[in-house]
Structure 1
Amino acid sequence: MTGNVSLSHAVNETGFTQAELADAVNTYLWNRGHEGTVSDRTVRNWLTGRTRWPHARQREALTALFGRSAGELGFVAPACRQSDTNEGEQPVRRRDFVTAAAGTAAAAPLITARPSMVGSSDVIRLREGLSDLVQLDQSQGGHGELEQLALSGAKRTLELRDQAATQRIRRRLFAIAADYTGIAAWSALDAHRLDHTQTHLARALHLAGMARDPVALFQVWNMYAMLCRQRHDFHQAADSTDAALATTITRRDPMFASLAHARAAINHTHLRDRPAALRALGRAEDALGRAEGSNFARPNWIAFYGPGELSAITAVVMNATGDPDQAEAASHQALSRIPDALRRNRAMATTQLALAQLRQGDIGQACATADTVFGLLPDQALPGRLRSRLDHFQRALTTSAPGSKTSRQWSDRYRLERSRT
């Protein structure tokens, strides 16, 4: 028994899995008031040629989904029925042609009115667009152009949802739209455009809920925690981190759990609970150890997180809790581990290193270290979050060494760099 090559080609072109094709046919039948009983096994029988002539309603659904007749899809009517079938189809097609020519579009054949269907291959292409934006963020940081590109991607994705071949594809489109909107929110957050961040996150949360996607939900709550910290609403930041920890992805993948615990450590620091912050760092390290070597499929936006980023977060906690020597050690460790391509992340870690050196009284070395930040992001605007950290360093420098030549020289350099943004 040979397989149905024509149907196999049509399925491959649209990117359907067997389960998705079964869902699509059943959805078509349900929408027309019929019972949908197509299963993976039914589709497999079509593909293998075991079923050579599906039920009439199933043939109608397949014709609508692929825009091809049953014969073009490789199906063959039993010999005893071919003549009856051909004779029965001709008058209908003639009537459709005459009526359509008279202007009655409703009588046109279903195949000509079929909209293009969105399947797995379209989902893959849309996700490739997400990867491009993540790379742009990693090289340049958050900025207005990235924010607008992400919002455009979300808009294009949502325009396709009514053409989804299955309900599963529709949910995946909602998830991709949530991811695009999340990138827009992240870009606004990194640029310190907090009102824009709030608006985008509210939209992303709605889309993630529609998608029922725990990864998208985690991303939104993670960014909500960061937004609340930038607004100095530390209790709300803690609540958002708790929501991130409660998503199902943190139970399935320790990488997400580690990131959430690391964010919780920063929240505890701002709430002046050093023991809780240290416990959270310990949990983050334990979870990261379990995550290393695992083969989970993860979105590329979380690729920034690893041992280097956890060391950088440790430096933030140690600087804030009055342990500048440990903060310096953690910063050096972070810079030895953060990939060179993540220039913004390296610049943030370098600023923490400069602050740790300043708090140990080494003013000259601190200013020299802070100077290297500008070389990490040459000829481009400093992201808003980085400017905020450098502002913090400058205030600490002015307090530690008011009026010193080194302090004045660095402040002049910083004002010059800021004027270019």
Structure 2
Amino acid sequence: MTDNVHLARHMSAAGLSRVELAKRLNVQIERLTGRPGTLQVRHIRNWLGGNTRWPHERQRRALEAEFGVSAEELGFVPPARSSARPESAPEDPVDRRHFTAGAVALTAGTLLSVPDAAARPRVGMSDVDALELRFTELVAADNAAGGTLSLETRALAFAHHALERIKVGTASTRVKSRLYASAAAFTGTALWSAIDAREIERAERHFDRALRYARLAQDPVAELRLWSHQVLLSGQRPGGQSDALAAAEAGHRSAACRRDPLYRSLATARLARAQAQAGECTSALRSLDHARASLRKADRAAQRPSWIGFYDEAELNGLTALVMEDTGRHADAEAFLHMALTRLRPDLLRNRGYYSATLALSQLRQGEIERACATALTVLPEEAGDSLAGRTRTLLHIFHRELRTAAPNARSTAEWANRYTQAKGTQP
């Protein structure tokens, strides 16, 4: 039986099981204290059952960091004659609002609180506008630092908030549609974060929910974004090339692609990648030509959601390079990567790291050991222990493995291995 319905609701909104929450909180504890957490499923069970009404301090701090709300808002009750935050206590040295690696801190609490359901307040476009502003901020945070656990959790909190506005208020059909679209957008961002972290099962759950919200909103643009993410998600599963190709084709058939050449260009570029990974090389190259033709027709000044802001000629060059890598055309891939990195917007730091790591791999596969190592070194974080976005981290691991195989005794290999080990904080 669940006594703490508030914690249960937040877990449900985030799609977290007891096992998953325990693992994520242990990660948060290590980040906050420098020492690994020791939470187990029984702790979560005791919290949900009400057997533990006020967890230990570091557990509370981890919970607050994970969900972006206070321990009290998670249903926990301080013991009598004590305070969760005594006025005489020194200031907490950990800024628990800062969990996006230098990006803007975001929590669902920054929006208006959800009113009493009995009041049935009117929900209008101001509520939608507030959510869309938060979504734009989340997109900027992702562009800067990539998907993180904190970003994923905050995105789900905002999605939950959008759905709560529908439940507790009265709204026009248009406003309800926009709120469902916001829920789809935020859940799509959580989906992207899970993909970036290669958390396949969790990402699949996010996809199912986001697609349901997008269809309730009757928003073909939101659906297109989700199919684009599904292409990458399917590609992460062993033997998932057929599913990735089917997802790419679904996105390519969407109404959004028929209406807007920019969306059609992105969907066609995703289709080219799926075709290349499925071994359809000729079709992939033809799709890239179509993607470039569509991009030339697109009205860049048209009003679109903030998530598509990353897509331009530089990004298409990067996606083209990935297709070239998939088809073994490493020299062509290198040429397109140089063009992409030259024109990439300065705020797209996550993409810059990803394409730079891809460039290092392309150079390595052409036998350019020193150049490859020099390129890879630019991707490593400046401070030891700093994090890398999940897909970039995976690429560097592949680079490290292939480099040690290709040139185990080279001086540049030794230098790279030393720096890579320091950056990870662990042995290679």
Is the pair's TM-score, using the shorter chain for normalization, greater than 0.5?
yes
Are residues 1:160 and 2:165 paired?
A: yes
- How many angstroms does 1:377 deviate by? 9.0
- Using a 3 Å threshold, how does the CA distance of structure 1 residues 348 and 207 change in structure 2: closer, same or farther? same
Structure 2: distance between partners of 1:376 and 1:350: 15
The answer to whether the 8 Å contact 1:174/1:210 transfers is yes
Amino acid at match of 1:122: D
The answer to whether the 8 Å contact 2:381/2:387 transfers is no
- Using a 3 Å threshold, how does the CA distance of structure 1 residues 376 and 308 change in structure 2: closer, same or farther? farther
Amino acid at match of 1:142: G
TM-score by length of 2: 0.69
Question: Who is 2:188 aligned against?
Answer: 182
Q: How many residues matched?
A: 308
- How many angstroms does 1:400 deviate by? 1.8
The answer to whether the 8 Å contact 1:179/1:204 transfers is yes
Are residues 1:360 and 2:366 paired?
A: yes
The partner residue of 1:139 within 136, 139, 144 is: 144
Are residues 1:289 and 2:296 paired?
A: yes
Secondary structure of the corresponding residue to residue 142 of structure 1? coil
Structure 2: distance between partners of 1:344 and 1:403: 31
Question: Who is 1:231 aligned against?
Answer: 237
Are residues 1:253 and 2:249 paired?
A: no
Structure 1: distance between partners of 2:307 and 2:404: 37
Are residues 1:127 and 2:127 paired?
A: no
Residue by residue over 1:119-143, the C-alpha shift from the partner in whole angstroms, topping out at 9 and shown as x without a partner, is 1121111111111111111111100
Amino acid at match of 1:234: Q
Structure 1: distance between partners of 2:246 and 2:307: 23
Question: Who is 1:274 aligned against?
Answer: 281
Question: Who is 1:116 aligned against?
Answer: 121
Question: Who is 1:416 aligned against?
Answer: 422
Secondary structure of the corresponding residue to residue 378 of structure 2? helix
**More helix by proportion, 1 or 2?**
1
Question: Who is 2:64 aligned against?
Answer: none
- Using a 3 Å threshold, how does the CA distance of structure 1 residues 139 and 397 change in structure 2: closer, same or farther? same
Structure 2: distance between partners of 1:290 and 1:388: 35
The answer to whether the 8 Å contact 1:222/1:244 transfers is yes
Residue by residue over 1:355-401, the C-alpha shift from the partner in whole angstroms, topping out at 9 and shown as x without a partner, is 22212221011100100012589873111111111122223212321
Structure 2: distance between partners of 1:310 and 1:375: 26
Structure 2: distance between partners of 1:295 and 1:377: 39
Question: Who is 1:77 aligned against?
Answer: none
Question: Who is 1:351 aligned against?
Answer: 357
- Using a 3 Å threshold, how does the CA distance of structure 1 residues 178 and 164 change in structure 2: closer, same or farther? farther
Structure 1: distance between partners of 2:321 and 2:392: 15
The answer to whether the 8 Å contact 2:384/2:423 transfers is no
- Using a 3 Å threshold, how does the CA distance of structure 1 residues 379 and 131 change in structure 2: closer, same or farther? farther
Secondary structure of the corresponding residue to residue 410 of structure 1? helix
Structure 1: distance between partners of 2:383 and 2:260: 33
| Range moving further from structure 2, 294-303 or 371-380 | 371-380
The answer to whether the 8 Å contact 2:245/2:278 transfers is no
Secondary structure of the corresponding residue to residue 386 of structure 2? coil
Question: Who is 1:244 aligned against?
Answer: 251
The partner residue of 1:371 within 356, 377, 397 is: 377
The answer to whether the 8 Å contact 2:180/2:216 transfers is yes
| Range moving further from structure 2, 134-143 or 319-328 | 319-328
Question: Who is 2:212 aligned against?
Answer: 206
Question: Who is 2:40 aligned against?
Answer: none
Structure 2: distance between partners of 1:125 and 1:245: 31
Are residues 1:399 and 2:405 paired?
A: yes
Structure 1: distance between partners of 2:157 and 2:119: 26
- How many angstroms does 1:411 deviate by? 2.4
Secondary structure of the corresponding residue to residue 297 of structure 1? coil
Question: Who is 2:224 aligned against?
Answer: 218
The answer to whether the 8 Å contact 2:252/2:271 transfers is no
- How many angstroms does 1:294 deviate by? 4.1
Secondary structure of the corresponding residue to residue 341 of structure 1? coil
Are residues 1:305 and 2:311 paired?
A: yes
The answer to whether the 8 Å contact 1:140/1:380 transfers is no
- Using a 3 Å threshold, how does the CA distance of structure 1 residues 304 and 376 change in structure 2: closer, same or farther? farther
Counting aligned pairs with the same residue, the percent is: 40
Residue by residue over 1:265-286, the C-alpha shift from the partner in whole angstroms, topping out at 9 and shown as x without a partner, is 1111111221111111111111
- Using a 3 Å threshold, how does the CA distance of structure 1 residues 377 and 271 change in structure 2: closer, same or farther? farther
- Using a 3 Å threshold, how does the CA distance of structure 1 residues 405 and 257 change in structure 2: closer, same or farther? same
The answer to whether the 8 Å contact 1:228/1:234 transfers is yes
- Using a 3 Å threshold, how does the CA distance of structure 1 residues 131 and 116 change in structure 2: closer, same or farther? same
Structure 1: distance between partners of 2:303 and 2:158: 22
- Report runs of 4+ in structure 1 exceeding 4 Å deviation: 375-379
The alignment yields a C-alpha RMSD, in angstroms, of 1.9
- How many angstroms does 1:219 deviate by? 1.2
Equivalences for residues 75-86 of structure 1 within 5 A: none
Question: Who is 2:390 aligned against?
Answer: 384
Structure 1: distance between partners of 2:248 and 2:308: 16
Structure 1: distance between partners of 2:349 and 2:402: 24
The partner residue of 2:270 within 233, 256, 263 is: 263
TM-score by length of 1: 0.70
Question: Who is 1:29 aligned against?
Answer: none
Secondary structure of the corresponding residue to residue 380 of structure 2? helix
Structure 1: distance between partners of 2:241 and 2:134: 34
- How many angstroms does 1:420 deviate by? 7.4
| Range moving further from structure 2, 143-152 or 396-405 | 396-405
Residue by residue over 1:329-374, the C-alpha shift from the partner in whole angstroms, topping out at 9 and shown as x without a partner, is 1111000111111111011111121122212221011100100012
Amino acid at match of 1:395: R
Structure 1: distance between partners of 2:242 and 2:329: 24
The answer to whether the 8 Å contact 1:214/1:248 transfers is yes
The answer to whether the 8 Å contact 1:148/1:184 transfers is yes
- How many angstroms does 1:322 deviate by? 2.0
